[in-house]
Amino acid sequence: MTRIFCFVLLTVLAQMSRADGFVWPNGARGAVSLSYDDTLNSQLDNAVPVLDKHGIKASFYLILSSPVLFDRLDEWRALAKSGHELGNHTIYHPCSASRPGNDWVRPHNDMDKRTVEQMLDEVRTANTFLKAIDGRTERTMTLPCGDVVTSDGSYVPAVKNMFVAIKGAEENLPAGFSIYDVPSGLSGKELIAIVQRAAKNGGMANIIFHGIGGDHLSVSAEAHQELVAYLSANRQTYWTDTYLNIMKYVRDRMPRAKNQTPLSAN
């Protein structure tokens, strides 16, 4: 069982005003990053066919030790070749066992007992594995459980230069720019409301899925399909793309934008 960023609609940064000269591609009012954590069967079975049907590109953050990666490696490789992003979610998905509700964390995978150097080695090795899968050198990351503090401090400063961006750990963006949501059990209408909020603010919505019609922290396949169809039908309003492409665009137009130690997840 895994957990990540246990907060809902947490606005951690916010909108760049039009007066500052920032605009999204093709006049879109907001950007949407659909991402999928934990290397789950339901993502390949239920999410990818819908994304591909509507021509929507998304980001998949892989746990490199997952048997689903081993068993379906050709499918993950094909997914990358078709334009989706494979991102770093570490090799073993370490989390802090001391946090409330994290009694499922196994002793050997307890972030509280890791060191910064161990996390640096794991994250770097995960990037090497990912390059072997998709051949790419530019990468983004999501942080397992949102936990970053090891026995000797946060590991984010040690790894941030390996990535274009770390989801939820950006800095020097305008206040209100990014909205994050980890949906579980939400309806299609509720998912659509998240992206509508981003368009209203002129910023970016980050919807971090796990299971789609199965597995854990799941939303129904029907709700997911309703959101993707809505984004496809409203491309003039929402620029939906991989987190890598969105953050490269943001970084090129806001040169100070880079990674930072993220806010603590509650």
In a domain, 174, yes or no: yes
Q: Which of 48-57, 194-203, 247-256 has the lowest mean pLDDT?
A: 247-256
In a domain, 265, yes or no: no
Q: Count how many domains the chain has.
A: 1
pLDDT for 174: 82
In a domain, 21, yes or no: yes
Confidence band for 68, pLDDT divided at 50, 70 and 90 = very high
Q: Which residues contact 193 (CB under 8 A, 6 or more apart)?
A: none
CATH code of 246's domain: 3.20.20.370
pLDDT above 70 for 35: yes
Average pLDDT for 127-144: 98
User: CA 90, CA 72: separation in Å to the nearest integer?
Assistant: 18
pLDDT of residue 20: 57
| Predicted confidence (pLDDT) per residue in 150-185, tens digit | 999 999 999 999 999 999 888 778 878 899 999 999
Residue 201 scores a pLDDT above 50:
yes
Residue 135 lies in a domain: yes
Could you tell me the pTM of the whole model? 0.89
Return the pLDDT at 83: 98
User: DSSP string spanning the chain?
Assistant: -------EEEE-SBPPPGGGT---GGG-SEEEEEEEES--HHIIIIIHHHHHHHT---EEEE-TT-HHHHHTHHHHHHHHHTTPEEEE--SS--B-TTSTT-TTS-GGGBGGG--HHHHHHHHHHHHHHHHHHH-----EE--GGG--EETTEESHHHHGGGSSEETT-EESPPBB-EEEE--SS--HHHHHHHHHHHHHHTSEEEEEE--BSSSSS-B-HHHHHHHHHHHHHTTTTEEE--HHHHHHHHHHHSTT-EE-PPPPP-
Weakest-pLDDT range from 16-25, 40-49, 134-143, 149-158: 16-25
Residue at 236 is within a domain: yes
Greater confidence, 103 or 255?
A: 103
In a domain, 264, yes or no: no
User: Do the domain assignments include residue 128?
Assistant: yes
At 259 the pLDDT is: 58
- Segments forming the whole domain that contains residue 148: 8-259
Q: Assess if residue 104 is contained within a domain.
A: yes
Query: Is the per-residue pLDDT at 12 higher than 60?
Result: no
Determine contact, residues 39/62, Cβ cutoff 8 Å: yes
